[in-house]
Structure 1
């Protein structure tokens, strides 16, 4: 295992050999699923630092998610959607898109797998029909542009596409979006993640900003939204801006971490509009982040995202850090006029 300082966390052995596209903790354990441009999906036990399984695909794997601790799903640049059966290291093709599949998620509310592709469609699948696309495909829904990121909370699905479009769906009625929006950020969307409490979503861009949005369309609801600058530095009087690739919400406190191409992970208190913590710099760009189900662990993908083109860079690595309460717990607001 490569040495790591206690400030970055412990480094997992047997990391992917090419860019890490995403990583996700299980909702049931400390198992971690990792997708990569090296055409693999890897299953780790993050607590034990053990590689439990590896699946090879026909193209780069752009996203992955769990079903439960015995199976998961993957989205590949070879246009396929696959179900992965961990104990048997078996994979079945659930279906296909007409272009690389960028995003995948499993809805516990509906029991469906949802995929978003660069073919400008969303598709919903019944995982029980794996092996037969005619049995598994539930519906296809045209999007205004290529799907870049998506996120689920309860029955709500938020889809962010090229062209700064954002569609909000109710999974119980996918015939048309519940809301059609435009990103309040001026530049290309990198990541969207729903608030754990279901009231809205955070969206990041290539231009070092994060927007905090709310589903409530009333004037009062929309008055709460705001955007802020992050992952920037001033050098020689010049503002250097880094893409914000990853957002992950803490499952207990509702605070969130962001990861940027500057190699930093910051933790934010969105309600109080404050940065709570900044971790020590990682070797290269932060490509993905995920908190464990109880928020005790944070998985960090340190993986160059080619924002400066093809160049020599640090090898891809996955760090698992123990999260201290002081790093993620909101600080109480101070009453400026305490009662005497």
Structure 2
């Protein structure tokens, strides 16, 4: 009996480096993909076809959905765009002073948050005539951020990690220094809102918790990953991407080694490692039902200009127990 394929490649991928893959929060068929080729593309992954393409004036660094009919994007042109996914039209929302590095949609408040290299986070009400609600200065360039249950975690240059309650952005809930000694690449919140994982350019991941009590803080940890011995030398790769499985709470990591791992954060163990992708893993996203994992295989230039495999997006079907944590003892 012929085995069903566990993953497939999307047709018509971006023509330059992929910066983000993002599934719709309500529809597992819909995937947004942003790229250095100045586009955001909407794919129907079930039909394996491109539904829409939105053009920017410069490279697009991130994208997100609010729901199945609307998305948002930003990048080197400093603009924040609203994407109508049903009519394939886009509307400028506003500007930052420097490139827009990351976007997050809050399901709780129905608001958009954008982080920029201009050292600000901006809050937008996309339904308002004047959408910009607030501008909040930060100590350094914003590299990555994520929001869950009104908690926003922001990772910046200089190893700053700030935590906010988005209902009151004028005050910082917590100001932390990253547990990782090198530059943060990605930060993602746990689906249950208890904490977050962050990754660095130096092959490490930290698992942290919001609750400042000593008992909870004693549970945080960091570990080495995405390393391999080549010709007797321990080679370390940046961990570019993290994604939590929304059903099981385990998480996947993707590195410049082209490897995707799935981690059981309770038992501090790797659940599985998928076969190596053609080049660096630039971004990862689980579908809202946890059954699909989008993998952006796209060279991230950690070794400068060199020949590399074409940019691709793979969609992997996740088996029922593939991301399920082992029984937690106690």
TM-score w.r.t. the length of structure 2 is 0.97
Residues 231-240 or 284-293, more deviating = 231-240
1:1-340 to structure 2, matched below 5 A, reads 9-29=7-27, 30-129=29-128, 135-333=130-328
Structure 2 residue matching 1:87: 3-state secondary structure:
coil
Looking at structure 2, the residues matched to 139 and 79 of structure 1 have their Cα atoms a distance apart, in angstroms, of 17
Shift in CA distance, 334/98, structure 1 to aligned 2, threshold 3 Å: closer
> Deviation digits for residues 171-221 of structure 1, max 9, x if unmatched?
111102100001010000000001111111000000000000010111101
CA contact (8 A) 2:14 2:37 kept: yes
Looking at structure 1, the residues matched to 7 and 304 of structure 2 have their Cα atoms a distance apart, in angstroms, of 28
Q: Which residue matches 1:338?
A: none
RMSD between aligned alpha carbons? 1.4
CA contact (8 A) 1:82 1:93 kept: yes
> Deviation digits for residues 305-326 of structure 1, max 9, x if unmatched?
0000011111000000111123
> Deviation digits for residues 120-167 of structure 1, max 9, x if unmatched?
0000011013xxxx8111000011100000001110000000110000
> Deviation digits for residues 50-107 of structure 1, max 9, x if unmatched?
1010000001000000111111100121000000111221111101000000001111
Structure 2 residue matching 1:192: 3-state secondary structure:
strand
The CA deviation at 1:334 is 6.7
Structure 2 residue matching 1:263: 3-state secondary structure:
coil
Structure 2 residue matching 1:82: 3-state secondary structure:
strand
TM-score w.r.t. the length of structure 1 is 0.94
The ranges of structure 1 where at least 4 consecutive aligned residues each deviate by more than 2 angstroms after the TM superposition are: 5-8
Unaligned runs of 5+ residues in structure 1 are: 336-340
Looking at structure 1, the residues matched to 72 and 41 of structure 2 have their Cα atoms a distance apart, in angstroms, of 12
